[in-house]
Structure 1
Amino acid sequence: MGRLAVGGTRDSVGVLCQVLKTGVPSALLTSLSLAQNNLGHLSAMYIGDALAAPALKRLRKLDLHLNRLGDRGVASLAEGISAGGGMPCLDELYLGYNKIGDAGARAVAGCLEGMVVLRELDLASNAIGNEGALAFAMHLSDEGRDEERMSHVRPRLLLETLDLKENRIGDDGACAFRDFLACAGEHESGMGGGRTEEEKIGLYCPKLLNIFLDQNRAIRARGRNALQVLHTTRGIRCMEGADW
């Protein structure tokens, strides 16, 4: 039982999540899809509760796109992901088309540290604005660390693609990505000595290749210029339909 794709109602998802929490047969589950079910935030509470259980810690792919989860639902998911040591094997997370706003984006950004091997995070076609973009920019750099977390060394993220296409991000959000990622050496310079030049340039998220921001219509000339700087300095591609 490597993969499981399920369609259903809130009640059936609740039953499924109770079964998955038992560890039989979810200990063998690596891919779970509940996509395109319009489940809503209450179902997300069940799913978040299941994700917190040890039985699902081997999950590598979670697809929940098109479910109207909203900010409340995504907050429940983030809480479950962060519980019990995070999701150490999760490689792909799909949360597109879920009516997620800035509060939900902050919740997802805040649990990135619990998904250290995550390669692809899809949040396309939501309602994320500049505040949500700022949260991701901070949490993809050392600037997202609070004083308690600064006291211990955290493993670097392996994230390669953050898909934020068709949201409500404007120039300020685009500039936040530039400020926290393109200029990382300056931001990190006061955070302890002894770093190699590679560490200063490489950032907390050294493998990041794509931050897709296509169809964020509030990004105008100032934002596009900021994204071009990000591409020039870090090689991060920001527009899937362009060469930068």
Structure 2
Amino acid sequence: MAGHQRTLRWIIGEDPEWSLALVPLLSNLCLQSIARNFEKKPFIEELLPAQKDYVLERLSPSLPLQLTANLISDEGYWKRCCKQRWDLCDVTQYGHSWKQMYFERHLENLIELFIPEVTDPKTILDVVPLGKNYIKKLNISQLLPPIRESPKQLEDDVSDTSSESGPSLDHFDFGILLDQLTNLEELCVVYRVKGCGMNFEWNLFEFTLQDCQFLSKALNLCRTLKVLRLHQSKVDDGRCRLLVRHLLDHPSLRELDLSHNRIGDRGARAIGKLLNRSSLEALNVCDNNIRGPGAQAIAYALSTNSTLLSLNLRLNRLGDVGGQAISRALLMNRTLLRLHLGSNAMGEPTASVLSQVLAENNTLESINLSCNSLGVDGGTALVEGMSHNTSITECDIRLTEVDQESESCICQVVRNNQNRARRKQALQKATRSTPNWL
């Protein structure tokens, strides 16, 4: 039997780590080939869902937009595109859509780096048909002027008046773009150059008359626009009036921010006219040069307005003439919820009128009177008005020279109103959650 016993042999493979489980599936090899050659042959719609996901995960985020814009909707792919280009990516600011973020920021970058008379407008216009369905908001933080070669002038004294000298430097013409962005709802523009350093010149921060004409006409054609912010751009009375002329009767504009500009009384009168011929819900003209007459014009419009919910007049020069006018308008207005009158050189006469407003107006929820010289008598008047108020849940009277006792009384009324508002909200929530059959 021993002679018939089989001899056992060891077979040693060429690759000791080889395993049948490591052999890629033919289907995966095909899908990998599709991903590698996607730019030449964009084969995606015919795949099964699992196969499509496999290919999308392997696509390069550097593929041309002309290929991917209308073909790929996968959020994972656009997330990789965003992460590759920008370090900070807060998708919550873009409706939680990575594709919207990519197209909005891509177009913003193109506009911010556009040099008039040098950059071909086609570079921007080519993006419009690809991303117009996704572009809802643009935040333009700089606009470059055209390149002008001029001999250097050495002067002993350089003053702010030099901003008015030299050739006019017009910027990007929004007229070629806005009417094509059919889903644009919010536009924020600042006419400045970021990080100019030692190349600083005043005309790098100039909102020219031609710029104003370009922008005004473009805004008139952008019928979906809801929010316009044009701040820190040296908008004066003339430019403000031109802007307002094209915004009158705008069908969708709901918020206007012209803060940190040079708007005076003439511009304020135009804004008052806009309040009567629009559906604005929020107006911000803080840090301008509006005085008493301009405030009176805004107050006249406010007295009959039925849409405005928020008004910010902080850091102007209303004085008691303007402060009293705005206050009296609130005796007739029953829609405004938030009012900011901080830093306006107002005193006890304004506080006296506001006392009557606080007693009679139970719509206003927030009022800011900080950094005004209301004085002890003004504080006493505000306490009298607040004692009859049930709606104010925010009242800022810091740095108003109001005595401590008056401040304490006002704060107590505000706390009572806050508690009342919370109970009301809880009751409404409970009512909505209760079944109709109970």
TM-align CA RMSD: 1.9
Shift in CA distance, 207/179, structure 1 to aligned 2, threshold 3 Å = closer
Q: Does 1:30 align with 2:226?
A: yes
- The aligned residue for residue 162 of structure 1 is 339
Aligned match for 1:50, one of 220, 229, 246: 246
The change in CA–CA distance for 1:13 and 1:157 in structure 2 (over 3 A counts) is farther
- Matching of residue 210 in structure 1 with residue 366 in structure 2: yes
Q: Which residue among 43, 50, 71 is the counterpart of 2:265?
A: 71
Given candidates 4, 15, 20, the residue that maps to 2:219 is 20
Query: Which of these two proteins has the greater Rg computed from alpha carbons?
Result: 2
User: Is contact 2:268–2:297 with CA below 8 Å preserved after alignment?
Assistant: yes
Structure 2 CA distance for aligned equivalents of residues 72 and 47 of structure 1? 13
Amino acid at match of 2:351: A
Q: What pairs up with 1:1-244 in 2 under 5 angstroms?
A: 1-8=184-191, 9-11=207-209, 12-21=211-220, 24=221, 26-52=222-248, 54=249, 56-82=250-276, 86-88=277-279, 90-113=280-303, 115-142=305-332, 157-182=334-359, 184=360, 203=361, 206-216=362-372, 218-235=373-390, 236=392, 237-239=394-396, 241=398, 243=411
What CA distance in whole angstroms lies between the structure 2 residues aligned with 1:165 and 1:105? Answer: 14
**Counterparts of 2:380 and 2:364, CA distance in 1:** 19
Is this contact kept in 2: 1:51–1:57, CA < 8 A?
Answer: no
Whole-Å Cα distance in 1 between the matches of residues 285 and 326 of structure 2?
15
Cα deviation, 1:18-60, whole Å, max 9, x if unaligned, reads 2222xx3x210000000111111111111220221x3x23111
Identity between Structure 1 and Structure 2 (%): 27
Cα separation, 2, equivalents of 1:175 and 1:136: 13
Task: Give the drift of 1:136.
Answer: 1.4
DSSP 3-state at the match of 1:223: helix
Query: What TM-score, normalized by structure 2, do the two folds share?
Result: 0.43
- The whole-number CA distance in structure 1 between the counterparts of 2:233 and 2:336 is 27
The alpha-carbon deviation at position 229 of structure 1 amounts to 2.0
Q: Could you report, residue by residue, the CA deviation over 1:60-95 in whole angstroms, capped at 9, with x for unpaired residues?
A: 11100011101111112212332xxx222x221101
**Deviation of the 1:96 alpha carbon:** 0.3
Structure 1 residue 117 displacement after superposition: 2.3
- Over 3 Å counting, the alpha-carbon distance change for 1:211 and 1:176 in structure 2 is same
- For residues 252 and 328 of structure 2, the distance between their equivalents in structure 1, rounded to whole angstroms, comes to 28
2:216 maps to a residue whose letter is: C
- Contact kept, 8 Å, 1:40 with 1:73, in 2: the verdict is yes
Query: CA offsets per residue over residues 123-177 of structure 1, 9 Å max, x none?
Result: 00111111112111211113xxxxxxxxxxxxx6321111000111000111011
Work out whether residues 190 and 230 of structure 2, in 8 Å CA contact, stay in contact via their aligned partners in 1: yes
How far residue 228 of structure 1 moved from its aligned partner, in angstroms, is 1.8
- Runs (5+) with no aligned partner, structure 2: 1-183, 192-206, 399-406, 415-438
Query: Distance between the aligned counterparts of 1:113 and 1:140, measured in 2?
Result: 7
Name the residue aligned to 2:153: none
1:211 Cα deviation from its structure 2 partner: 2.2
**Residue range with higher mean Cα deviation, 173-182 or 38-47:** 173-182
Per-residue deviation at 1:113? 4.7
The residue type equivalent to 1:231 in the other structure is: M
Could you tell me whether the CA contact under 8 Å between 2:357 and 2:385 is conserved in 1? no
Q: Bigger CA drift: 110-119 or 124-133?
A: 110-119
Structure 1: how far apart are the matches of 2:357 and 2:308?
Answer: 20
CA contact (8 A) 1:141 1:181 kept: no
Task: Please tell me whether the aligned partners of residues 303 and 330 of structure 2 are also in contact (alpha carbons under 8 angstroms).
Answer: no
Does the aligned pair in 2 maintain the 1:50–1:80 contact within 8 Å? Answer: no
Contact 1:140/1:181 (<8 A) preserved? no
Q: Which amino acid in 1 is paired with 2:376? A: A
Number of aligned residues: 200
In 2 relative to 1, CA 2–114 (structure 1 residues): closer, same or farther, beyond 3 Å?
A: farther
Contact 1:48 1:80 in 2 (8 A): yes
Give the secondary structure class of the aligned counterpart of 2:307: coil
